[in-house]
Chain A
Amino acid sequence: MLETILQQRYYITAVLLFSIGFVTLFLHPNLIKKIIGLNLMDTAVFLFLASMGYIEGGAAPIVEEGAKASQYINPVPGGLVLTGIVVAVSTTALFLALTIRLYRQYHSVNLDVILMLAWEGKAED
């Protein structure tokens, strides 16, 4: 059991990071910290994928002519992580821009205050 935990430490770290990010995303009222939590979740997924592709003793996949595949680590998760990073950057920028628009409207980045203000406006209708 303990040996398995030690062997799978990267996966376990990824799961813990994912949970921390998830809790932050759900429970923190500050919008900026919600975005940070989302980024933590992204990072956990990248860590999981990258450690999935590692093979013990494998070299970076800069291949030479006539080499066997077993000398190198798996290149497929590297490409997937690349895709993920780009999408994470794009969504983060979009969320931050939306947060700025919300701040201009309500003068607060606290989601509770924004909810209250929006609720007050709705109750008058």
Chain B
Amino acid sequence: MKNHNVREDWYHRFLRWAGGEEPEGAEGPEDPERAEFQEYLEYIEAHGYMEFGAYRLMRFRQRREKGLEDPRGSLHGPPAPEPEPVHPPRHHRPGKLRNQILLYRVLSAVIVITLAAIFLVVTMNLPLFGRADSPAVNEVSQRYLEQGLEETGAVNAVTGMILDYRAFDTFGESAVLFAAAMSTLLLLHSPKSRMRTFRGPDQVLSQVGRRVLPVILLFGVYVVVNGHLSPGGGFSGGAILGGGLILASLVLGEERMARMLPAPRTSKITVTCLLAYGLMKGYSFYTGANHVGWEVPKGIPGAILSGGFILPLNLCVGIIVACTMYTFYSLFLEGEG
């Protein structure tokens, strides 16, 4: 399968793999995969549609039965001369695997029905919906609501909760987003895949998009900056900003956006924001826990510059979310080509 006569060390193989290079096949001047795909297209023209994977499996079995070539290489090798156009056995699987799949289906149906029944019984015995005396309304939420304003300075209790009391939780969330973006980058990014040439969008889409785009971006900035005063905050505003960036990429063209925001730059911005978040929150936890007294002034509740570090923290989170959304979009667009 693999044409490694000389064993490479794992690090270079990993690098080539991370670079998007397929470990086998697709080498040489004529591309055997492309030739096979051409044959597949001709086959479905003649015999009706079937999936490419099933087609390859059928061809592989035919070749192995004929013993025309080494079956190990034939899955990716050049196509065999002329197979008899036999329809594949549709539901044939090796017996052991078929039994396992049947067992799996029955077991999962049983598990799902049992779980749903248990959940429904539990639901009927839960505290009634909307009651103020349910055990979920306890001293924790009471403290957040009654003393959150003077302890955090944020009018929006949810923002005060997630960016002050539970700020390290939010830091972990931002780190999860960054980790997901980086793993997607590792899985999908290949340096040799060229940017697709931009086909101009529909005239109506382009004109409307250009006019709506500044409003969307401005609204995103508003939601981020007002996170401690009104519903919203870094996550929701960042999602709006990310949507605006995706719209910009659709309307202005991917090449222009790739010049403005290439993947290394978005990664650098995200890392900078994560570091800034960690520094700010580490500072306030350190000074607060040790009673040093250099606390950031809270300001007047309701003013835009209030709530201590909450406004810059919201900005950091918003930028991280927007960059991550845009990175996902551009990577999946690249993987499409």
Contacts and interface: CB of A to CB of B under 8 A. Distances in A.
Interface residues of A, number: 72
On chain B, which size bracket covers the interface?
35 or more
Contacts of B321: 86
Nearest to B161: A79
Contacts, number: 189
Given A8-B128, A15-B119, A93 B328 contact: yes
A61 B93 contact: no
Contacts of A91: 180
A98 to B, nearest CB: 7
Contacts of A104: 22
Contacts of A101: 187-188
Contacts of A75: 141, 144-145, 157-158, 161
B116 A69 contact: no
Contacts of A16: 116
B156 interface: yes
A110 B50 CA distance: 12
A1 B105 CA distance: 34
B112 A19 contact: yes
B53 A107 contact: yes
Interface in A1-34: 4-5, 7-12, 15-16, 18-19, 22-23, 26-27
A94 to B, nearest CB: 5
Q: From DSSP, what is the main secondary structure of chain B's interface residues?
A: helix
B230 A62 contact: yes
B187 A76 contact: no
Interface-central residue, B22, B161, B230, by most chain A CB under 10 Å = B161
A54 B184 contact: no
B124 A86 contact: no
Interface stretch (B130-138, B247-255, B271-279): B130-138
A90 B174 CA distance: 10
A120 B60 contact: yes
Contact of B130 (A56, A61, A96): A56
A120 B1 CA distance: 13
Contacts of B187: 94, 97-98, 100-101
A39 interface: no
A62 B155 contact: yes
A19 B184 CA distance: 29
22 contacts: A11-B123, A11-B126, A12-B120, A15-B119, A16-B116, A19-B112, A54-B129, A55-B131, A61-B145, A74-B137, A76-B144, A86-B176, A97-B335, A100-B188, A100-B332, A101-B187, A108-B51, A108-B53, A110-B51, A117-B53, A119-B93, A121-B75
Interface of A: 4-5, 7-12, 15-16, 18-19, 22-23, 26-27, 51-56, 58, 60-65, 67-70, 72, 74-79, 82-83, 85-87, 89-91, 93-94, 96-98, 100-101, 104-108, 110, 112-117, 119-121, 123-124
Given A8-B129, A27-B109, A87-B176, 4 more contacts: A54-B129, A62-B157, A83-B173, A94-B184
